[in-house]
Amino acid sequence: MRRRELLVSTGVAVTAGCIGGFVGGRWSEGHVRGVDFSVQKSPADTEVDAPPTVEFRPESSRVVVTGTLWVGSSSCNEAKLDDVSYHERDGRLDVAVTSGEKGGLLHDVPLLPVGCTADMSADAYELVVTFRGSFPKTVVAVEHDGEPERTKATKPVD
């Protein structure tokens, strides 16, 4: 029995929501207090090809990015946060969301083969970046959904 692999997979499943400082981005000297990324299945009436939406909430020091992107098989893929980078010199926040393999206990244990469905699904996501001190002047949100083009939204603070 592969107990170590099961324990590692369980640890991955338990800490999957705690992405805080572990995202592959660059945070400038503690200007970013926290990152919260959540994924839901996209409602049927959602326009998947629309660019992401960027909302500034300076009163709570937050930037909220929402969107929907194609992820592939509903049983094996999901939206993933790829990058969060704050560039202090430019006052710019760059975020990137992509599709990737689902994690979780059943998908992480090699002894349990899990087949993928042949459907094409979309995930809705919400990314909340909370700042301490400085606040971005511009946000560039990019979605990589398997298509050659990238969906991009750039929004300066109003």
- Taking only the tens place, the pLDDT of each residue in 87-102 is 989 899 999 999 988 8
State which H helix or E strand residue 116 sits in: none
What would the two tokens of residue 131 be? Answer: 């700042």
14 Cβ partners below 8 Å, 6+ apart?
none
- Nearest Cα residue to 104 out of 12, 5, 17, 22: 12
Strands (E), the chain: 32-41, 53-57, 62-72, 77-87, 92-101, 121-131, 138-144, 151-156
pLDDT of 84 over the 90 cut: yes
Q: Residue 70 pLDDT > 70, yes or no?
A: yes
Q: What is the pLDDT of residue 139?
A: 93
pLDDT digits (tens, 9 = 90+) for 102-135: 875 544 555 555 678 888 889 999 999 999 988 8
DSSP for residue 47 = -
Most confident of 28-42, 64-78, 110-124: 64-78
3, β-bridge pairs:
none
Instruction: For residue 8, give both structure tokens.
Output: 């590692």
Looking at residue 61, its pLDDT comes to: 94
**Distance in angstroms (rounded) separating the CA atoms of residues 87 and 100:** 26
Greater confidence (39 vs 11) lies with 39
Asked if residue 5 has pLDDT above 70, the reply is: no
What per-residue confidence (pLDDT) applies to 82? Answer: 93
Average pLDDT along the chain: 76
Predicted local confidence at residue 17, as pLDDT? 41
| Separation of alpha carbons 38 and 80, rounded Å | 9
Region 71-81 average pLDDT = 89
Which two three-digit tokens encode residue 147? Answer: 């298509």
128 CB neighbour count, 10 Å cutoff: 17
